[in-house]
Amino acid sequence: MVEINRSSFRKAAQTYHGEKIKYIADNPQEYSDFVSARAGRTAEIAEDYGTTRDSDNARYFSYQLGNKSVGLLRMEGGDSMTEFDVKRWRELFPGRTGTTSSVDLQVVHPLVENAGDILLEHQLRMDG
């Protein structure tokens, strides 16, 4: 797992809606219906959200296998819980006044089954 900058994240996100992912999406007879559908969702999400909709405070991470990115994570800062059911929040999370971060975008390679889990574990470790 490596932290990357915004431009590197956006460049990597473009590969998730590139020819290789679209080939997987378009060939369920070769990859299975499940994997092809997953590839289609990956391409759609990466194209729609991978190069937009982030803030100046976002942090970017890439899960690497060798020198290839197989998962991308964009995290935003946490939120105050004043807009939620504060009483219920305090019951569930005593002593916590807000979240430390939130997953803004997660995109994973459709052939790497556990990439999403690894990205989530990384975020949880960072949030302590």
User: For residue 49, what are the CA distances in angstroms to 11, 12, 43, 65, 86?
Assistant: 12, 12, 10, 23, 31
Q: Please write the tens of the pLDDT for every residue from 21-54.
A: 999 999 999 999 999 999 999 999 999 998 877 7
Q: Residue 92 has what pLDDT?
A: 77
Q: Residue 124 has what pLDDT?
A: 78
> What pTM does this model have?
0.80
H or E element, residue 18? none
Q: Please write the tens of the pLDDT for every residue from 46-86.
A: 999 988 777 888 899 999 999 999 999 998 876 655 566 66
